[in-house]
Structure formats: structure tokens, C-alpha cells
Amino acid sequence: MLLRIDAGSPEPLFAQIAATVRAAVLRGELAAGERLPSAKEVAGSLDVNLHTVLRAYQDLRDEGLIELRRGRGAVITDRAERYRELHDEIPRLVARARDLGVSPSALLALVKEASS
Amino acid sequence: MIASSTSAPVEQARHWRRRLAPSMLVAPLAIAALGCVALLIAAPRLPASVIVHWGADGTASGSPYSALLCLPLTALVSAVLWGALRRPTDVRRTAFLRVLLGLPLWLACFLTIALVGSTVLQAHPGAPVPGVPLLVGFVVGLVAGGVAGLTAPEPPALPAAPALRAQPALRRGERLVWLGRATTAPGLGAIVLGALGAAAVLVVIAGLAMRPAVALIAIVPGLLLPLVASVLHWRVRIDTRGVAAVGALGFPAIRVPLAEVAGAEVIAVAPIGDFGGVGLRFGRGVTAVATRGGEALEVTRTDGRRLVLTVDDAATAAGVLQALRA
């Protein structure tokens, strides 16, 4: 699994880590039942605080994408299949917004508005 | 990981292996079975106790039926070799492969003629020298196995390695890690660990039956067990520190600092042909964690030595390592 974060970005590091995992699920690189690397290993490699990685994993657990089990670590749940369904639709929406001149932040706000 | 479908190379490999069935399975088993039938026909005329030539001191006497062993031994070797050729990534066009392809037939001829021949001859007093069947079996086996190995059809070419998936170079403030693994097929791992465990148990039982001190030899497979278990599954990490491959139990650990990485490529490997087998292998200028055949990450060090890791998604791993070096 590839994890890439930008310490200079205004987006919090934990959100970036969670976003990387979601993207990997969407692309099908992480399937249901697969285990994420331990938070300690990720924290050491990315040179971030352990709690930053744990926060990312907790967020992913709260949305149901992973399960945190003592001794087994973080495991991708069956919800991965549902995320995967969106794989084709999201790029379509993004491309359409670009064609229409709707900025990414405006699109994000629109999606948020529609989901609430 | 991305699911792999039954592809053309797999189909080609199956087809190739089916064409080898006559020389690797049918003929060896038929020869050994014929030998067993011949022995059973001759058995009533044999003394109850015959000289078993392959005994520890060469003159041990045993049951004439011990020659029936040629059938299970032949079946075992044929089945293991047949199983080893299951996947297209397991074979490479080498001379060693020809030896493997001829081995079942050689073994069948050698064992059958040597064991059955030397036993049956003892029905006739004043029979020729007991060593003759051994020599005849060896030579006949060499000819038959050699012909089988050399005339076997050429195996399909190895599937090509996937193209390297390039990653954008790191910008200032960016951090990157790739975490992957190199894993042995569960079935193969179970066979290896099962065999070691069985060896340990057998030694203990045999030791207790003969002399308790002998049971201490079980320490050898006992110590090997965790070491072998550890090299069946590896965690691989690529980040700004470099490449680290660590066995399942935390050892052995192989590390290449980023400053010593001269290059990273995706290659296709066939463990038996390239490294002589599966697992942690050492060759001339190369260290390989070869848990399976197929795509692998090849890291070249600044001193020219190479590290080969059969990680899943080697294309991304190589791209990440190149991006880290840039």
C-alpha cells in the first residue's frame, strides 16, 4: 500500500492518511479482509506522531471502512465493495464539474450540501 | 490486491504440463507397478528373509516385500515434481529443468530394477553378483530418464514483468511510504512446516524407542521450525530510510539504506530456475526473497549487488523507490 502525505498542505495529516486509504480502496488495491499496516509502522515510516495515524484509523473505523481488532490490527470491512462501486462515478462527476467551470472546492461544498 | 484472472500463460502452462504426464507420471508409475507385480509373482519362491542391499551395513536381511517400496517412493517423487510445475512462473528453460523432467523416470527404473531385481535373483541359488541389478537399474534409468528429459517439449516462456508504475518525484514537505509483503502460497508453507514438524516428532519417537539421548536430535528440526516459518512471509517497507524486508517473526531483516540504492526495476522471476528454490536465497552478487514466481522488485545497490523481493505490486514498489531516489 502506498501512503503519500504532504506536511506543507493545510489539510490535517490524519485526514490525508485516511484519504490515501480510501483512495486505495476505491482503486481496488485494498479489498475486504486485507490488513492495513500497523499504526506504529506507518507512523515510523512517515515520521508522524503515532496518535496522528491512530486518529486516521479511528475515523475510518467510524465510517465503517475498517475494523480495529485487538491483536489483529486494522482490517478492511465488506464496505470496501460499496466504495468500489463509486470508482467510475466520481471521476465522471469531477470531469463534468471541470467542464462546467465549477471549482473543486465548490464541487466539494455541493457534494457536502447534497449529502447532509 | 488486484485479483489475477486465469490468463493465457496459466493455460499454456497447464497444457505444457499435461503433455509431460506420460513421461513424468504414467510411465514411472507403470514401471514401478510392473516391478511390484513381478515381485509378488516371485514371492512364494523366495526365502522368508532376503538380503536387502540398501540396508545400513549392506548385508542387513529383511522381508522380500521391502522391494515393494519402489512404488510409493516413485509416486512421491513424481507427484512432488508434477506439483512443482503447476504454475507458469515456476519454470525457466534451463538444463536443470531437463534434469527435473527426467528424474521420475530415472528413479522408477533405478528403484524398480535395483530393488525388485536384487530380491528376485535371490530365488535362484548361485545367481549373479547382487550389485548387478543396481548398476543395470542405474544405467537403464539414466538412458530412459535422459531421453525423457531431453525430448520433453519446451516450456512456455515466462510471463513478462508488468511495466513499472512511475510515481511523481517527492515535493518539499512530502512524505512517502510503500508497505507490501512477499508471501509463500499457504499450501506450500503448510507442507514445509508439516514436514519439519513431522521430522521432529519422528525423531523424538524413534529416540525414545532406542535411546532417549537420540531424541535430542529433534532440537535440529525444532530450531529450524521458527526460522523456516519466518522466511515464508515477509513485510517489505520502502521509505526515505530505504528498503527493509523483515521476516514474519522479526528476523531475518534485510536493509538497504536509500543512499546505497543505485536502481530499482520490475523483473519476472522463476524461483527454481533463477535461485534454485523458494525462500531466502543467496547467489553470486544477489540476495533473493523468492516466495513465489512472477513479478518481483529488483534493487541494485551502488556496489553492484542486487536484492530481489517477490512483492505483490512490484510495479508500484519500484516506482516509489525511483521517486524517493530522485
- pLDDT tens digits, residue range B225-235? 888 888 899 99
Q: What cell does B306 get?
A: 542486487
Helix (H) or strand (E) holding B299: strand B294-301
Q: What mean pLDDT do residues A44-64 have?
A: 93
Provide the ipTM. Answer: 0.78
Alpha helices, DSSP H only, in B46-156? 70-84, 95-111, 117-120, 131-151
d(CA B63, CA B43): 10
The reply to whether residue A3 touches residue B176, judged by beta carbons under 8 angstroms, is: yes
How far apart CA B276 and CA B79 sit, in angstroms, is 19
pLDDT greater than 50 at residue A33: yes
Q: Which among B2, B180, B237 has the least Cβ separation from residue A45?
A: B237
All residues of chain A having their beta carbon less than 8 Å from the beta carbon of residue B2 are 28-29
Separation between Cα atoms, residue B231 and residue B249, nearest integer Å: 8
Chain B residues in contact with A2 by the CB 8 A cut-off are 167, 176-178, 316, 320
Q: Is the omega angle on the peptide bond into residue B252 within 30 degrees of 0, that is, cis?
A: yes
pTM above 0.80, yes or no: no
SS3 state at A103: coil
**H or E element that contains A109:** helix A104-115
Confidence of residue A12 (pLDDT cuts 50, 70, 90): very high
CA distance A26 to chain B (A): 12
Is the pLDDT at A65 greater than 80? The verdict is yes
> In chain B, pLDDT over 90 holds for what percent of residues?
31
* Residue contacts between A and B (CB atoms, under 8 Å): 55
Question: Which cell numbers in the block locate residue B286?
Answer: 544477489
The vertex-B167 CA angle with B165 and B170, nearest 5°, equals 165
Window 221-240 of B, Cβ < 8 Å to A? 235, 237, 239-240
CB atoms within 10 A of CB B110: 23
Of residues B273, B254, B295, the one with CA closest to residue B2: B295
By the 8 A CB rule, do B309 and B182 touch? yes
B316 interfaces chain A, CB cutoff of 8 Å: yes
* Ramachandran assignment for B158, one of left (phi > 0), alpha (psi -120 to 50 degrees), beta (any other): beta
For residue A1, the chain B residues in CB contact (below 8 A) are 178-180
E strand or H helix that includes residue B221? helix B219-231
Segment B260-268 mean pLDDT? 93
CA distance B239 to chain A (A): 6
| Arithmetic mean of pLDDT, A63-87 | 87
CA B131 to chain CA centroid, nearest Å: 32
Chain A positions touching B171 (Cβ under 8 A) are 6, 8
